Copies of this chain bind each other. A is one copy, B any other.
Amino acid sequence: MFFASDNSGPAHPEVLTALMEANQGYAMAYGADAIMDGVRTRIREIFEAPEAAVYLVATGTAANSLALATLSQPWQTIFCSPVAHIHEDECNAPEFYSGGAKLTLVPGGDRMTPEALRGAIAGEETRGVHGPQRGPVSITQVTERGGVYSIAELQALCAVAKEYGLPVHLDGARFANALVALNASPAEMTWKAGVDAVSFGGTKNGCMGVEAVIFFDPKHAWEFELRRKRGAHLFSKHRYLSAQMAAYLKDDLWLRSARQANANCARLADGLRAAGAEFLHEPQANIVFAAFPRATHRRLMAAGAVYHLWGGTLDGQDESEKLACRLVCDWSIGTEQIDRFLALL
């Protein structure tokens, strides 16, 4: 009953098998391996973007920070949600990689609205050299609270950015979970909507540690390569990143895993709803934020359930007080685990 995070589950056996297969003989280092050629080709096909520049790194923070640094200048500000991972969970990595750019928090929750985004951009008035200059917009899809922007919503946010000539980055740590939730194509969810660069996550969805960074305009390619190397994120034995990503994309493993994770979450959410839990956010992918009584939390944790409380603690007298928690389902959690959890509720 492990619902703490989708970065705590095992890697998919197909990924491990691919690593084994890749581990034969010699391979060119630093991204010149043959497996990477296949990955690049496959991602371009999947995204219907034959010119796209495609790179691999091992962590989501590296993907986000390097992509944003490439799209921005140190004297600019990056627009994002107040709960964006790049703001709350990366220990100033975007500021570090960008050389000291600022992050402007678009008022609201995890979901930016076009109105709030426009207000934030307009609010960073161009007072000559005095204030920070307007820089990229970063959108998280699936959001940090488990929401999924519709294609129309993404289009609307990108349109605001384009009004001001600003590039758009998509933090897709859970890209596949969003895609299957929307039943859209990768192109629709990215460049066709106006996205310029994507962090395309593999780690949380069945890989060991690999994320692709995709620029639809290849003009960014060389700068990104230099930034990746300077950031110490270029792997010498790169084939092991390539092999993970190749397996992830092969036979739609990425989509199968995401569908499984989302289905697991839907099963969990249905059970929670039936048990009278309150939802803090409408679950749309593989994350649920729900509240139920302290006594129930106590019972679940005593039985071995692992997850994060959200803004409260088990300490406290009032057993009926409702405490919020975050429950994340990855592809690997079995229905029996979910059902056992629900039974304990």
Contact = CB atoms under 8 A, between A and B. Distances in A.
Interface string A40-68: 00000000000000000111111001100
A26 B7 contact: no
A127 B308 CA distance: 12
Contacts of A306: 26
Contacts of A95: 74, 95, 100-102
A23 B16 contact: yes
Given A102-B103, A132-B92, A59 B8 contact: no
Interface string A5-31: 101111101001001100111111110
Nearest to A60: B236
Contacts of A59: 232-236
B8 A23 contact: no
The SS class assigned to the A binding surface is loop
Given A8-B27, A61-B229, A76-B92, 9 more contacts: A2-B26, A4-B29, A11-B237, A74-B99, A91-B226, A92-B101, A96-B100, A96-B230, A100-B100
B131 A88 contact: yes
B28 A8 contact: yes
Q: Which 8 A-B pairs have the closest CB atoms?
A: A7-B236, A95-B100, A62-B232, A61-B232, A2-B26, A129-B229, A91-B229, A96-B100
Contact of A225 (B8, B129, B228, B236): B129
